Amino acid sequence: MATSHKRETARRTPRAALLAGSLAALATTAVVGGGVLNSSAPDSDLVAVDRSKSAPAASIGDTGERLPMLSRSTDRSADAIGTELDALLSDSATGQAIAAAKQRLWADADLNLWNRPDKRAKQVGEIEEGEKVLVTGRTYGERSEIVLDGKARWVTTGHFTDEKPATLGGACTNGTTVPSGVSESIKKVHEAVCANFPDVSVYGTLRGGGGDHPRGRAVDIMISGPEGWKIAEFVRANYAALGVSYVIYSQKIWSVERSGEGWRGMPNRGSVTANHFDHVHVSVY
């Protein structure tokens, strides 16, 4: 009796179904690619594809899924900035910066102290104008790093100088005085100039004639050359605190009323003294 053997055969997918599946895959690929590449929107509006966080391109055909996309509102620089800032503020980097800091500079303004340089910073104190501090040379954004009591602190950039800034305070130590009959503002001018420019030994105040001198509202600071300009600029820069109305030096005048014009030229009055080449004239309110 013949034995019958049943052959197991694999099921075959009908050709029509195969063709339909291939067309569907092609259509899916066309939708994914065409939706971005063939868009009628301008290039500036195209959404970038973050391929670093997605599957390989071949997986699109396998799964039919779109790759993750970055929204146009996403801050693409956030990760990079965060990495840079984290490295800057790391304990090791900060410790090295503090250890290497050698330069000391003067603050030319009152400055707030911050614990870090970005928007998450918290104010942790302040330093006053004229204070000399240790700087590391590191900057981030609009802030610079200093060292205070062994700790890194951050302040607004652009407010340090290697020259000690002039201050209004201080005592006059060269023995010069002004008469008691002058105004309080003239006394302030003398005190400030004497404290910061002790080489000046002559101040002219009360005298006859017209103008502000007889009224005790003017002083002539006897100086010439570049040092005279330093004094003239010092008085001009502190006009509000000193009650100054105008300053004359080297045939030029600066006044509060016309401060926007800066130093203005004056007519020739005929002599070195009359043209104020040998002294700075200061008038006060």
| Exposed / middle / buried, residue 41 (Cβ in 10 Å: 0-12, 13-18, 19+) | exposed
In this prediction, residue 82 carries a pLDDT of 56
Determine contact, residues 189/235, Cβ cutoff 8 Å: yes
At 77-136, the pLDDT tens digits run 444 455 889 999 999 999 999 999 999 999 988 899 999 999 999 999 999 888 999 999
Determine contact, residues 192/239, Cβ cutoff 8 Å: no
Name the region of 59 (left: φ>0; alpha: ψ -120 to 50; beta: rest): alpha
Q: Which two tokens stand for residue 13?
A: 């997918």
Instruction: Judge whether residue 170 has pLDDT over 50.
Output: yes
Query: What is the distance between the alpha carbons of residues 223 and 143, in angstroms, rounded to a whole number?
Result: 39
| CATH superfamily of the 78-161 domain | SH3 Domains (2.30.30.40)
Q: Rounded mean pLDDT of the chain? A: 79
At 231-272, the pLDDT tens digits run 999 999 999 999 999 999 999 999 999 999 999 999 999 999
At 64-81, the pLDDT tens digits run 444 334 333 334 444 445
Q: Which two tokens stand for residue 62?
A: 């396998």
Q: Which two tokens stand for residue 64?
A: 């039919």
In this prediction, residue 168 carries a pLDDT of 81
Q: Count Cα neighbours of 126 within 13 Å in the Cβ-side half-sphere.
A: 6
Determine contact, residues 90/118, Cβ cutoff 8 Å: no
Pairing of strands 244-249, 132-140: unpaired
Query: What is the distance between the alpha carbons of residues 23 and 197, in angstroms, rounded to a whole number?
Result: 91
Query: What is the distance between the alpha carbons of residues 247 and 237, in angstroms, rounded to a whole number?
Result: 11
Give SS3 for 252.
strand
Beta bridge partners of 133: 105
Domain boundaries, the chain: 78-161, 184-284
In this prediction, residue 160 carries a pLDDT of 92
pTM of the model: 0.50
Query: What is the distance between the alpha carbons of residues 165 and 129, in angstroms, rounded to a whole number?
Result: 8
